[in-house]
Structure 1
Amino acid sequence: MDSFSTKVRTFDAFPKIDPHKTQRSSSGGFSTLVTALFILLVTWVEIGGFLGGYVDHQFIVDDKLTSDLFINLDMLVGMPCEYLHTNVMDVTHDRLLAGELLNFQGMNFFVPDIVQMNSENNDHNTPDLDEVMRETVRAEFNVAGTRMNEDASACHIYGSIPVNKVAGDFHITGKGFGYADRHRVPFEKLNFSHVIMEFSFGEFYPMIKNPLDFTGKIASQKLQSYKYFMTAVPTLYEKLGIEVDTYQYSLTEQHRAITTDETGLPSDIPGLYFKYDFDTIKLLIAEKRIPFLQFVARLATIVSGLFIVATYLYKLYSKTITLIFGKKFAYKDTEKLDGGLLGS
C-alpha cells in the first residue's frame, strides 16, 4: 500500500527537469520576463473583457401582442395652422383625425443650427447600447389638442397619436386638398417647408436620435410633395436588468414638384406624407457576460498556449543564432554546470 501511495505522489504526467540540471542565460531570462509581461497583459485584458461583458445582437420573432402604439411628433411647418389638415389612414381603412390629438402652436418659421436642411437622410446607424441607456429619458406631452395663434406664419405641431400596428400613412396637407372642406387654401399660400425635431414610434424617448430627427426641407415651389417611407423594427435593449423597449426605423424619401393640368388643377396632392410599416422581426441588443467557469477555462487555455508558443519561439531563436554565429557566440552568456565526469 505504501509503495502504491509513493508511486501516486511521485507520478507526474508532465515530467520536469530538475533545477540543478538546467542552465540559465541572460537571453533565456529576458525571454521569460517578456513572456511573463505579455501573459500579465493578456490576463488583464481578459479580466477586463469578462467584467465588462459583451454586446449580443439577436433577431427573434416579435411575439408581443401589440395592437396599437404611438407616433411621437415634433415639427415646424411653414404655413399657418389654420390652413393645415392632419390625418392618419392605415390598411384597415381606419381613419384618425390627428388634429384632435396633436397640438398646434402658431409661430414664426426658423431653422435651428443643429438641423440638417435639404440633405438626403440615407446614412443611419443603429444606436449602440451604452448610448441608448444613457439617453433613455422617458417623457410624455403634457397637453393634447390645444390650438394657439393659428394665424401665425408657421405652425409648430407636436404630440403623440395612437395608431394601429399595421402599415399606414400620416400626412399633413392643405385644407381643400385631398379632403372636402368648406375652405380651400390658395396656391400662393401653400408652403410645405418643414423642420422635424422628433419623429419616433412607441414610447417617447426624446433623447434617442432617429433618422428624421433634426432634419428638414425648404420647399422650392408652392405645389410640393414630400414623402418619407419608413419600416419600423421593434428593438429591445437590455443592460444590468434594465430594459428599453422601443422602435428604430429605416428611411427612404421622395420629394417632387407637382404640375398642374390645363384647367389649373394639380396632378397630385401637395403635402407631407409619412408612410410607415412594421417588421415582424424583433432586434434584441443585450449586454451579457460569459459564465465564470467558462472564463477560467478560457483564460487557462490562453495562458497555456502562450507558454507553449513562447517555448517554441525561444528554441527557434536559439537555433537561428547558432546557425548564423556559431555555438560559441550563442552560448557565451550561459552559466556553466558544476559536477560530472568532466567537471572541475
Structure 2
Amino acid sequence: MDSFSKKVKTFDAFPKVDPQHQVRSQRGGYSTLLTYFFGLLILWIEVGGFIGGYVDRQFLVDNVIRSELTINVDMIVAMPCEFIHTNVEDITRDRFLAGETLNFEGLNFFIPQGFRMNNPNDFHETPELDAVMQDSLRAEFRSQGQRVNEDAPACHIFGSIPVNQVKGDFRITGKGFGYRDRSHVPIEALNFTHAIQEFSFGEFFPFLSNPLDATGKITPENLQAYVYHAQVVPTVYEKLGLQVDTNQYSLTENHYVIKIDEVSKRAQGVPGIYFRYEFEPIKLTITEKRIPFLQFIAKIGTIGGGILVAAGYLFKLYEKLLLLVFGKKYVNQGQEKKDGGLLDKKVPKMSE
C-alpha cells in the first residue's frame, strides 16, 4: 500500500525536467521566441474574433404566414406608356390591376451608366451582414397611379404592387395582346427593350442589391418575349438587436421570339416581359453571434497548451535531424548546461 501511494505521489501527467538536467542553447532561445511570437499572434486573432463575433447562417422552416407582400418595380420600357398593359395573376387566379398602383411616366429611352445589358442573370451573391445593415434604409415611392406624358417614346414604370404571397407572375404586355382592350397596338409598334433599376419583394430597401437590379435587354424584334423566373426566400438579418426582414431571390431566365401564323397573320403567343415568382417554404436567418466568455477562455487555454506541446515536439525533431545530418559535435556547439548535477559535484578525497 505504501509503495502504491508513493507511485501516486510521484506520478505526473506532465513530466518536468530538473534544473540540473536542463541545457540552454542559441537554437533553444530562438525557438522559444518563435513560440511566443506565434502564441501572441494567435491570441490577437482570437481576441479580435471574439470581439467581432461570427456570422451564423441557418435555414429554418418558415412558420410565419404572410397573406400578402409587395413587388417593388422601377424600370424603363422602350414603348409609349399608352401602349403598355400591366397585370398580376397568381395561382389562385386572383388578378391585380398593377396599372392602378404603378406610376407611368413618359420619357425618352436611355440606358443608365453601369447597367449590364443582355447579360445572363444567373449569378447572385448573398449580401454580407454589415453591408445589409448599412444599406437597410426603407423607402416608399413618392406617388401611386400617376400617369404623365403617356405618348412619349418610352415609359418609366415604377411603384409597389400588393400581391398574395403565393406563386404568380407580373406581366408587361402590349394592349390587345393576351387581354381584351379598347385599343390594339400594331405589331410594328411593339418594343420590349427594357432597363431594370429595381425589382424586389417585400419592404422597399432601394440600396440593397437584387439579381435584376441594374440589368436590361435590348432587342430589335417586335414580338420578343422575356421570361424571368424568381425563387424567393424570406431572409432575416440580425445584428446588435437590429433586425432587417427582407426577401432574396435566385433567378433564371429565357427569351424567345413569337412567330406569326401565316394564315391568320396573328401572333402565336403573347409577347412581353414576364416576371414569374414562387416562394420557398423556408427562411434564411443571418445573425451575428459571439461565443460565451468562459468558452472563449477555455479555447485560449487549449490553444496555448497545444502550441507549447507542438513547439516542444518540433524542437526535438529539429534537434534529431541536426544530429543525424551534422553529428553530435555540431549539435553540442553553443550549449550551456546548468551547474548542480551529480557529475558536477567534486568528490572529497578520503583521508588516509
Instruction: Give the TM bin, normalised by the shorter chain.
Output: over 0.9
- 1:109-151 Cα offsets, whole Å, 9 max, x none, are 0001211111111121111212211211111112100010001
Q: Match for residue 297 of structure 1?
A: 298
**Cα 1:341/1:198, change in 2 over 3 Å:** closer
Q: Match for residue 273 of structure 1?
A: 274
Distance 1:338 1:277 in 2: 81
Are 2:200 and 1:196 aligned? no
- Please give the secondary structure, in 2, of the residue aligned with 1:86: strand
Distance 1:19 1:298 in 2: 31
- 1:59-89 Cα offsets, whole Å, 9 max, x none, are 0011112100000000001111111111111
Are 2:90 and 1:72 aligned? no
Distance 1:171 1:132 in 2: 29
Q: How does 1:133-282 map to 2 (within 5 A)?
A: 133-261=133-261, 262-282=263-283
* Paired residues, number: 337
- Please give the secondary structure, in 2, of the residue aligned with 1:314: helix
Assess if the C-alpha contact under 8 Å between 2:21 and 2:337 holds in 1: no
Assess if the C-alpha contact under 8 Å between 2:91 and 2:168 holds in 1: yes
- Please give the secondary structure, in 2, of the residue aligned with 1:188: helix
The residue type paired with residue 160 of structure 1 is S
1:341 to partner: Cα distance: 4.3
Q: Match for residue 43 of structure 1?
A: 43
**Cα 1:97/1:24, change in 2 over 3 Å:** same
- Please give the secondary structure, in 2, of the residue aligned with 1:297: helix
Distance 2:196 2:343 in 1: 93
TM normalised by structure 2 equals 0.92
- 1:214-261 Cα offsets, whole Å, 9 max, x none, are 111112211111111111000111111111110011111111111111
- 1:176-208 Cα offsets, whole Å, 9 max, x none, are 111111111111111111110000000000111
Distance 1:342 1:88 in 2: 97
TM normalised by structure 1 equals 0.94
Consecutive unaligned residues of structure 1, counting only runs of 5 or more, are 1-8
Q: Match for residue 6 of structure 1?
A: none
1:11 to partner: Cα distance: 9.7
- 1:305-329 Cα offsets, whole Å, 9 max, x none, are 1100111111111122122222222
- 1:81-102 Cα offsets, whole Å, 9 max, x none, are 1111111111111111110100
Q: Match for residue 349 of structure 2?
A: none
The residue type paired with residue 97 of structure 1 is L
Distance 1:338 1:19 in 2: 9
